[in-house]
Structures are given as C-alpha cells and as structure tokens.
Amino acid sequence: MVLRETDLIPIYQHLHQIPEIGLQEHETQAYLLSIIGKMPQDWLTIKTIPTLDTAILVKVSGLKHDYRIGYRTDIDALPVTENTGLPFASTHPGVMHACGHDIHMSVALGILSYFAENRPATDMVFMFQPAEENASGGQRLYESGALTGDWMPDEIFAFHDNPNLPTGAIGCRMGTLFAGTCEIHAHLSGKSGHAAYPHQANDMVVAGAALVSQLQTIVARNVDPIQSGVVTLGHFTAGTIGNVIAGEAQIDGTIRALTQEMNMHIQRRVRTITEGIALAYDCNIDLKLNQGGYYPVENNDAITADFIKYMQDDDDVNFIETKPAMTGEDFGYLIHQIPGTMFWLGVDSPYSLHSENMVPHTAAIMSGVDAMTGFLTHRNALHK
Ligand SMILES: CC(=O)N[C@@H](CCC[C@H](N)C(=O)O)C(=O)O
C-alpha cells in the first residue's frame, strides 16, 4: 500500500512521541522497520549496519541496475524538553524532535512506499541515518562501508524542514545551501580558592569570560566582511557558589562558515586566541575542535539545476529560491562524496528549529512526498 496522508500523519505523530538522541535511536529504528516491513518486499532489500546499529538502508531494485539514486533521511532528536502541549508530545523526558527529523522520516517512508509499489527505472538506496545533530552520522554511515558496491548511490538527495517557509514550499539554491560547522569544546583549569584571597587562586570565571569576549572578536576582526562566519558559544559553566573562586570552567560552542577555507581560518583563530588566554591567565585550556564531517552542503551544479527546473515547472509545487543558511548538516559529508542536492521543505512555524515550541505543519508531509516522488521518477527516467 502506498502510504498517503491518513497513514503518514499517525506515523509522524508516533515518531514524534519516541524521539531519541543520536546513536540511541533503537525504538525509532524498530518502528521504522515495522513500517517498511509492511510494504511489498518484491524488489526491496533491507540492510542494517553492525557498526552503526540504529541505521537502516533499503535498496529498491529497479528495472535496470547500472545507476543508483540515493535518498537520505536523518532519524535522531535533540536533548530538548518539549513545551508544545501537543496531544502526541514526546514521551521521552528531555528529548524532542525539535529539528523536525520526524517530518523527514515520514516523507522518506511515503516516498519509499511509492517505489515499493511502482518499480523504478533504476536502482534506489534509501538511507535512514542516525546522529545528524551530534555525532557525525553522515560520515559514520559513509565510513561504515555499507554504501560500497551495489549500495553506493551515483547521486543523492535529502531535505531539511524549514519553519520560515510556507507549508509545503520547496526551497533550494545553486551552490552552498548550508554552512560547514565545527564544534568548540574548551575546558579551563586553574586554582580554586577563597573569594577573599584572589591573589592565591587562579580564577577560571575571569579567564573564561576573557576567552568568550576574545573569541567574539573573530567574526568582527578576522572575517572578510564580504564573506561571513559565526562563532556562537552556547554553553559556559564555572564554579559552584559566589564566595569560592572557580578552578574549572567549561565552554562549548560552534563555528559556522559557508566555505571550508573560512571554517579552517576561524578554527585557526580560535586556537591562537585560546593559547593566548591560557598564557595571559596562567591556566591550562584543553581545546577540542571537532568538525566531524559537517562540511558546507554544496549542491552539485547539474543535478541542482535540474532539480530547480523540475520544481519550478511543477504547477503543484511552490518553489522558492533561498539564501544560504548558517545551519549545519552532516549531509555536507555525504554530498562531498556523492554529487547531489539538498533542499528545504517549508513547515511554517513561528518557532525556530531546536525550539521547545517548534510545531511543524504536517500538511508539508504530502507536499514533500508528492514533489519528490515526481522528481525521483523523473531522475530515474533519465537513466533508464
Ligand atoms: C539542521 C541543524 O540544526 N543542524 C545542526 C548541526 C550541528 C552540527 C554540530 N553538532 C555543531 O554544533 O557544530 C545545527 O546546529 O546546525
């Protein structure tokens, strides 16, 4: 049975209720397998990966086997406590599909169910990929070796939901769609002591505050204003109580840049400034910069031109040309290995991605399924 709105909305609601952090998506995987298992299996092959044990790959054997089209969805959620008040809110305390990967999975199931009933002209590989948010799932999937041989796509597609676009709209652009990211983790160690004797201690609140301030000069002073970059430090903890000088601090953040060169440039400045602060404040700073394959998502020219033309020509699609975004995606790793296109699907929410209030409009699910079923059929036909 091809999954349509009356099937996909309850599936979406169930997935929304069982969000799991990256690499722990066991309940999600079991549920996805139960849905995929009910599709006709005549030309489907399902594969799991021992070294990435929450992932699922599904190959759709087409009428011909000399070309393979890849379609990827991410399946993980975020450590966010849901505050939507939805009747189908998260049942997993402190975890929420606040980035809409439940929408991504529902659309992927809808598309897969279509091709399970309607044999495509060429082979297809559907990837249900863990750990987009925090643990380099795209890179792990590629490096697991599971995509080698007749599982390796020749081209690849994925989307991310977008609260700023009208429900069901498809957004895309030539070139870079998403920034490359790099996580910053800095642990500062000095000497704790009594608040009344600062000269006998080495205060990590002060050193940490200086580090935060100095890192914030990078974009203002070291990034070509014609280009762009972001340094956000979203986490800073230090100390325990007001009258004890803190001997430890932890600062975590993220770098964003639209080119890998700029990302590397900002990483170098973070390193140099951190070394300077350690020297100036006579402390130890253990700095870890972790890019983890979150490269800029650079859309392939030929495939993306075809994607945009198809969507513009389809009267049922509201196509919007979008600007590059500073959000990151581990699809950046996959698209560096396999040419393809990433795009946005509008879900029109007043709350941003990662907000505890984010509620995507579920009408977007069928818009995504229909647009991509049509487009993938078109791409298949180019290779028959
Ligand atoms: C779509 C989205 O929100 N993706 C995440 C990717 C995070 C990458 C990495 N963990 C980092 O924080 O740099 C995003 O925050 O953009």
Q: Predicted ipTM?
A: 0.97
Which atom belonging to ligand 1 lies closest to the Cα atom of 134?
10
The rounded distance, in Å, linking the Cα atoms of 337 and 333 is 7
pLDDT tens-digit profile of 36-83?
A: 999 999 999 999 999 999 999 999 999 999 999 999 999 999 999 999
Which atom belonging to ligand 1 lies closest to the Cα atom of 182?
13
pLDDT tens-digit profile of 120-130?
A: 999 999 999 99
Task: Go through the chain and tell me how many residues it has.
Answer: 384
The per-residue pLDDT for 192 is 98
The per-residue pLDDT for 31 is 98
By alpha-carbon position, which residue is closest to atom 14 of ligand 1? 328
Which atom belonging to ligand 1 lies closest to the Cα atom of 353?
3
The rounded distance, in Å, linking the Cα atoms of 384 and 374 is 15
C-beta 329 within 6 A of ligand 1:
yes
Residue 362 has pLDDT above 90, yes or no: yes
For a substitution probing ligand 1, which of 161, 162, 181 has the most ligand atoms within 8 Å of its CB?
181
Beta-carbon neighbour count of residue 287 at 10 Å? 18
C-beta 327 within 6 A of ligand 1:
yes
Which atom belonging to ligand 1 lies closest to the Cα atom of 160?
1
Confidence of residue 134 (pLDDT cuts 50, 70, 90): confident
C-beta 328 within 6 A of ligand 1:
yes
Ligand 1 centre to CA of 181 (Å) is 7
C-beta 269 within 6 A of ligand 1:
no
pLDDT tens-digit profile of 310-336?
A: 999 999 999 999 999 999 999 999 999
Copy the structure tokens of residue 233.
């430090």
C-beta 160 within 6 A of ligand 1:
yes
Q: Is 371 exposed, middle or buried (0-12, 13-18, 19+ CB in 10 A)?
A: buried
**pTM of the predicted protein model:** 0.95
C-beta 294 within 6 A of ligand 1:
yes
> What is the percent of the chain with per-residue pLDDT over 90, rounded to a whole number?
99
Ligand 1 centre to CA of 193 (Å) is 37
Binding positions for Mn(2+) are 99, 101, 133, 160, 354
CB 343 within 8 A of CB 193: no
The rounded distance, in Å, linking the Cα atoms of 153 and 157 is 10
pLDDT tens-digit profile of 184-236?
A: 999 999 999 999 999 999 999 999 999 999 999 999 999 999 999 999 999 99
For a substitution probing ligand 1, which of 80, 230, 327 has the most ligand atoms within 8 Å of its CB?
327
For residue 113, give the 3-state DSSP assignment: helix
CB 277 within 8 A of CB 201: no
Report, as residue numbers or ranges, the catalytic residues.
Answer: 74, 133
The per-residue pLDDT for 61 is 98
Copy the structure tokens of residue 319.
């196509």
C-beta 181 within 6 A of ligand 1:
yes
